[in-house]
Amino acid sequence: MKRAYTARQIRDAEAPLLAAGVPLMSRAATALAHHTAAALRRLRGRVPGSSVTLLVGTGNNGGDALYAGAYLRKMGVAVTAIQIFDRLHPEGEAKLRRAGGRIQRWSATMHPADVVIDAILGIGIEQAYLRPAAARALAWAQACGAYLIAADVPSGMHPDTGEVPADAVAADLTVTFGGLKRGMLLPPGENYCGEIVVADIGLELPEPNLTRLEAVDVASHWPYPDSSSNKYSRGVVGVIAGSTTYPGAAVLTCQGACRAGAGMVRYLGPREVLRQVLHARPEVVGAQGKVQAWVIGAGLDPQVDDGQHAKARAVLARARVGVVDAGALDLIRPGERYTDNIVLTPHATEAARLASILGHPLSAAAVAERPGAVASLLAQMTGATVLLKGATTVIAPGSDPQHLITQADATPFLATAGAGDVLAGVIGTLLAAGVDGPRAAVLGAMLHGTAAKIASRGGIAPIVAEDVARELPAALAALTGEGA
Sequence-ordered strand ranges (E) for 91-142 = 102-105, 115-119
Q: DSSP letters along 156-177, please? A: T--TTT----TT----SEEEEE
**Is 88 exposed, middle or buried (CB count within 10 Å of its CB: 0-12, 13-18, 19+)?**
buried
CA distances from 60 to 8, 25, 35, 74, 122 (A): 15, 8, 19, 22, 8
Contact 384, 363 (CB under 8 A): no
- Confidence grade of residue 483 (pLDDT, cut at 50, 70, 90): very low
pTM attached to this predicted model: 0.93
438-457: per-residue pLDDT in tens?
999 999 999 999 999 999 99
Mean per-residue pLDDT for 407-423? 95
CA diameter of the chain: 82
Mean per-residue pLDDT for 303-311? 88
Mean per-residue pLDDT for 344-372? 95
Q: Are strands 236-240 and 147-151 parallel, antiparallel or unpaired?
A: unpaired
φ and ψ at 119, to 5 degrees?
A: -130, 45
Residue percentage of the chain with pLDDT more than 90: 94
Contact 465, 423 (CB under 8 A): no
The pLDDT of residue 344 is 98
Contact 420, 298 (CB under 8 A): yes
Other beta carbons within 10 Å of 307? 13
Mean per-residue pLDDT for 335-341? 95
44-95: per-residue pLDDT in tens?
999 999 999 999 999 999 999 999 999 999 999 999 999 999 999 999 999 9
pLDDT of 250 higher than 80: yes
381-395: per-residue pLDDT in tens?
999 999 999 999 999
Mean per-residue pLDDT for 242-251? 95
Average pLDDT, the chain: 95
CA 304 to chain centroid: 36
Contact 328, 316 (CB under 8 A): yes
Q: Partners of 82 in the beta sheet?
A: 55, 104
Q: Which residue has the higher pLDDT, 153 or 307?
A: 153
Rounded to whole angstroms, how far apart are CA atoms 382 and 129?
A: 32
**Domain extents in the chain:** 2-211, 215-479
- Determine whether domain 2-211 maps to CATH 3.40.50.10260: yes
266-276: per-residue pLDDT in tens?
999 999 999 99
Mean per-residue pLDDT for 106-133? 90
Q: Are strands 385-388 and 393-396 parallel, antiparallel or unpaired?
A: antiparallel
Mean per-residue pLDDT for 255-282? 97
Start-end of H helices in 319-436 = 348-357, 364-369, 371-382, 419-432
Rounded to whole angstroms, how far apart are CA atoms 124 and 111?
A: 30
Mean per-residue pLDDT for 171-197? 97
pLDDT of 376 higher than 80: yes
Peptide bond into 188 cis (omega under 30): yes
Start-end of H helices in 243-360 = 247-259, 271-280, 308-318, 348-357
Q: For the stretch 112-125, what's the b/e string if a residue is b when 16 or more beta carbons lie within 10 angstroms of its beta carbon?
A: ebbbbbbbbbbbeb
pLDDT of 484 higher than 70: no
Q: Partners of 105 in the beta sheet?
A: 83
Give the contacts of 460 (CB within 8 A, at least 6 positions apart).
none
Rounded to whole angstroms, how far apart are CA atoms 197 and 175?
A: 5
The highest-level CATH class for domain 215-479 is alpha beta
Q: Output the 3-class SS for 436-464.
A: CHHHHHHHHHHHHHHHHHHHCCCCCCCCC
The pLDDT of residue 110 is 81
- Reduced to 3 states, what is the DSSP secondary structure of residue 259? helix
- Confidence grade of residue 482 (pLDDT, cut at 50, 70, 90): low
